[in-house]
Structure 1
Amino acid sequence: MDSDNAPFDQARHLRYWQRCMRTLLPQQYTATDSTRMMLGCFCIAATDVLARNGDQSVINAHDRRAFRAWVLACQHPGGGFVGGPTHTYPRAVYAGFDFSKGLPEIGLPGEANIAATLFALQLLALLAASDEENGGRNEKHGEGAYLGVHRNQTLQWLQQLQRPDGSFGEFLAYVPDVRAAGGRRKVVGGGADMRYCYIAAMIRWILGGGGCTDVIDIDVSALVRRIRLGQTYDGGFAESSTHESHAGYAFCAIAALDLLGRSAEFDKSTTLSSLDIFAHGIADIPALLRWLAARTFCFNPECEEDNDSEWQESMVAEITPTETCGNKPLFACNGRCNKHADSCYTWWTLATLSILEHHGYGLKGGSEMSKEDWLAKRRFLLKKMQHEIGGFSKVPGGPPDIYHSYLSIAALASQNEDMLKAFDPAMCVSQDTVRTIETARLGLSRGLGEAGERRRADLLSLGTACWGRGKPPRRQVAL
């Protein structure tokens, strides 16, 4: 793509992700034990994005089954998933609990969290069996990916995480309250920032929320209003209009609106159309576009090393890159005003702009300008952030890590990097994975999931009652 000696080394990056997936991580990851579901999802998703042009997956059938069993072992009986198998009690502890009725009152609902639930659902789609692994069954690829997922409980649990103001929390918990029945009351725990709004929209879309009559949907209109209230005076987005805007929050807000406007295959009753949702969810679109454009600046290593240096942001917003930084500029992005460059900010900014452009809200300028701008950002990622052992670092000269490595690959894939799969910015996974999710969701509607298991159990009970003692009727032979 660019003759500047900054190639994307696919093989090196694939080796890096295989090491992360199959060996012990460095001790710095000890603090992230509760988010193992996220780390696993990034590892598997990265190998998927890197396997382009029909390349064979580095995950064999045995490992797929083992990884899938690990994910399902983290499912909570009351709905949702936990961050790792050490964060839930043995199944016997939950005997006699009725999570749909909230009984007993002193239950254990606080273990499942909204982020782990999203990563678990994405992982199950990424681990869907290939056509060869289906055992010759007449089944589309990925149709049974969500077999074993408690869809209804998870959607009910998700609905309980929404607050009256439209925001979402992270988990459910019981707290002491002498005025409540039993001395305890259920509360929504965690923050109220834009990340949970985005994750809730993703979970709803993945499981086809809103299209099933037996589960109460989230309040989509309240969520859209909550997102709108997150736009700040400068055009960006934050947890609320009085907080500091951040590129990550802007992405979460815009991606959530995109997903709320998507209809599931069996969900024809969306609350608002896609354009209506963007009009209702963003108070000032031109201001948002200006704020996103201002996140790009010409990278100067000397300024990066001197924390007291004067930063010149927005310097490439109105003039060409060559006039500003020479023939081979490096464009970096920051997530907030007067902050240093960070590899993940390139993703947050580019992905937000890509989603807006898809819905007809693009920046002014011709295609040549856009291409030149992206090539300068690409040079920054590959020359300053790409590590010699594979992966990407947070800052120039730093070690690679799973989080920044995946989001750097996501940024490259979203701009059609030659060695990577086509990417869905709002879902933050490959388009192949999104198609698998759509197929798996259809599988749930056809009875391959929880509803199908109930119907099969009912039929088996009916047959047992008719036959007596579980014996099938004797076969009649026509004479």
Structure 2
Amino acid sequence: MNDLAVDRHAAYFRYCLNVLPSPYVAVDATRLAMVFFSIAGLDLLGCLPNVDPEIELGKTLSARSKVSEKTAQAWIEWIYSTCMIPGGAMFRASPSIGAESNSNQFRYDVGHIAGTYFALSTLLILRDDLSRIDRKAMLSWLRACQREDGSFASGVFNWKTDKQEQFGERDLRFGYCAAAIRWMIGGDRLVTQEAVEDINVESAITYVVQECWTYDGGLGMGGMSEGHGGFTYCGVGLVKLLDGDLERCFGREKLQQLIRWSVAHQVAEPGEDGASIAGFNGRINKDPDTCYAFWVGGTLDMLGKEWLEKTSLGRWTAYLVETTQNQDIGGFGKTADSMPDVMHSYLGLAALALRAASYADCLKQLDGSLCIAADGREHAEKLRRSWDEQRSR
């Protein structure tokens, strides 16, 4: 598609991997998230060496946008060497919060559930085999992060002791990360093959369906809150990854309400030529925002691609390409008058990648439930099968 500035987007993500503007100092404790958004963005554009040579994707990119095997391997080593907690059971969210083993602060150098999700997702994108990870220990750690009500903490102090102390708020995003981590490491297979204790899948799903259901037919941080596009995506994603049968878990009535709630969050505003363009917002009476094109679009993708097709597809892609895409330096901003940032830049591309047929010449197809390219999920599926084969020998 000639309306997508692919080389500028690639340059923007490459720049973000080398140096970030000073405002990002405030989020340095989540540096792995910035790394994920940048590398995943390059992957969707076909810049990484994992592109199938038989397809046309990436052939419109200039040579300077391509990433070498050496660089991709260096990124893998950076994740393991700076962010993996010794033992291989979890990852910290940033190398800036690491501590020496003889330091008084060492007890605070613990794994973070979101950091672990971003690390695993990025490693899969880069086609790592995850052989340096202790999958059994990681599943055990996830179980320690789960609260009695089914929700998940962001991490645990004093893990593997009788003085475990969960930290972090009850945040549906942590539940989604836990479900994605469990799937990526083949936790469902470990439980049946290795007699490893699983997380409480039933209580995790019940927490979403009962405790996070909101009065308006969406999902939020609790029953008394309003539905939110990001939390709705995380809740639906959690159920999809842990069970797969959304109708059985939510029930037909709630599933229809979720579909209606999601479609209703497409909002229109005038375009440059006077025609109406329509992005998505995350809450009632809010302006459209680039990231919600993915959060809401990804939710509809999981609920059934036919529901995504029932939105005004051309109008919300026009909102992204014509309104929030920065044609000068690359990337996407939050809104039309915003400078691009790395999160909105990736989620803008991810939303467009949900429309695989329309952007097949310049974007990979996206897997809506994992928020990575579909071939990254295929790589994870291969690893899961290989772990099964190793076990059967």
TM range (shorter): 0.7 to 0.9
CA separation in 1, counterparts of 2:280 and 2:258? 15
User: Which among 17, 21, 24 is matched to residue 19 of structure 2?
Assistant: 24
CA contact (8 A) 1:231 1:283 kept: no
Question: Do structure 1's residue 342 and structure 2's residue 289 form an aligned pair?
Answer: yes
Instruction: State the alpha-carbon separation in 1 of the partners of residues 58 and 34 from structure 2.
Output: 23
1:208 matched to 2:186? yes
Counterpart AA for 2:376: T
Q: Percent identity?
A: 31
> 1:82 pairs with 77, 89, 92, which one?
92
Letter in 1 for 2:279: A
Number of aligned residues? 368
| Conserved 8 A contact 2:156-2:167 | yes
Measured against aligned partners, the alpha-carbon deviations of 1:134-174 in whole angstroms (never above 9, x if no partner) come to: xxxxxxxx5xx202112111111001111111111101125
The question of whether the paired residues in 1 share the 8 Å contact of 2:92 and 2:109 is answered with: no
Asked if the contact 1:193–1:238 (Cα under 8 Å) also holds between the matched residues in 2, the reply is no
Report what 1:13 is aligned to.
Answer: 9
Q: Which amino acid aligns with 1:59?
A: V
Establish whether residue 62 from structure 1 lines up as the match of residue 54 from structure 2.
no
Q: Which structure 1 segments of 5+ residues have no match?
A: 95-105, 129-141, 176-181, 263-272, 302-324, 456-479
Q: Does 2:10 match 1:40?
A: no
Report the TM-score, using the length of structure 1 for normalisation: 0.71
Q: C-alpha displacement at 1:242, in angstroms?
A: 0.9
1:333 has 2:280 as partner: yes
Match of 1:217 among 198, 202, 224: 198
More helix by share: 2
Which letter maps to 2:203? Answer: A
| Closer/same/farther in 2, CA of residues 109 and 26 from structure 1, 3 Å limit | closer
In the alignment, the residues of structure 1 paired with residue 39 and residue 389 of structure 2 have an alpha-carbon distance, to the nearest angstrom, of 27
**CA distance in structure 1 between the aligned counterparts of 2:109 and 2:200, rounded to whole angstroms:** 22
1:83-137 CA distances to partner (integer Å, 9 max, x unpaired)? Answer: 12232334x549xxxxxxxxxxx98376210000011111111222xxxxxxxxx
Q: Which runs of 5+ in 2 are unaligned?
A: 60-64
Return the alpha-carbon distance in structure 1 between the equivalents of residues 371 and 39 of structure 2.
Answer: 13
Q: Quick one: distance in 2 between partners of 1:292 and 1:206? A: 27
Asked if residue 119 in structure 1 is aligned to residue 118 in structure 2, the reply is: yes
1:277 deviates by 3.0
* Aligned-partner residue type, residue 67 of structure 1: W
1:254 aligns with 2:236: yes
> Equivalents in 2 of 1:224, 1:45: separation in Å?
28
Segment of structure 1 superposing worse, 422-431 or 326-335 = 326-335
Name 1:295's counterpart in structure 2: 265
User: What is the CA-CA distance between 1:249 and the residue it aligns to?
Assistant: 0.6
Amino acid aligned to 2:9: H
CA shift for structure 1 position 293: 2.0
2: CA distance, partners of 1:442 / 1:38: 28
Give how far 1:278 is off: 4.1
2:16 is aligned with what amino acid? C
Q: Within 2, Cα distance between the matches of 1:401 and 1:85?
A: 21
Q: CA deviation at 1:275?
A: 4.3
How far is 1:256 from its partner?
Answer: 1.2
CA contact (8 A) 1:72 1:149 kept: no
Under a length normalisation based on structure 2, what TM-score does the superposition of the two structures give? 0.86
Question: Residues 430-449 of structure 1 correspond to what in structure 2 (within 5 A)?
Answer: 430-445=373-388
Looking at structure 1, the residues matched to 388 and 146 of structure 2 have their Cα atoms a distance apart, in angstroms, of 25
Q: Show the counterpart of 1:277.
A: 249
Identify the match of residue 354 of structure 2 among 392, 414, 424: 414
Query: Is the contact between residue 125 and residue 440 of structure 1 (CA under 8 Å) also seen in structure 2?
Result: no
Deviation at 1:300, TM superposition (A): 4.5
Match of residue 402 from structure 1: 342
Distance in 2 between residues matched to 1:232 and 1:326, nearest whole Å: 38
CA shift, 1:243, in A, is 1.6
Instruction: Find the counterpart in structure 2 of residue 374 from structure 1.
Output: 313
Give RMSD over aligned pairs.
2.9
1:247-266 CA-to-partner distances (Å, cap 9, x unmatched) read 1011111111111125xxxx
Q: Counterparts of 2:189 and 2:250 in 1: how far apart (Å)?
A: 21
Name the CA distance, whole Å, in 1 between partners of 2:106 and 2:188.
Answer: 27
Structure 2 CA distance, aligned partners of 1:275 and 1:68?
A: 38
Per-residue deviation, residues 12-34 of structure 1 (Å, max 9, x unmatched): 2112112112x311001111111
Q: For the structure 1 residues 276 and 287, does the alpha-carbon distance in structure 2 shift closer, same or farther, using more than 3 Å as the test?
A: closer
Amino acid at match of 1:250: T
Contact 1:392 1:400 in 2 (8 A): yes
Amino acid paired to 2:86: P
Q: Deviations over 1:7-57 (max 9, x none)?
A: 112122112112112x31100111111111111111111111101635488
Matched position secondary structure for 1:239: coil
Q: Which of residues 207, 213, 227 is equivalent to 1:231? A: 213
**Which amino acid in the other structure matches residue 225 of structure 1?**
T
Partner of 1:308: none
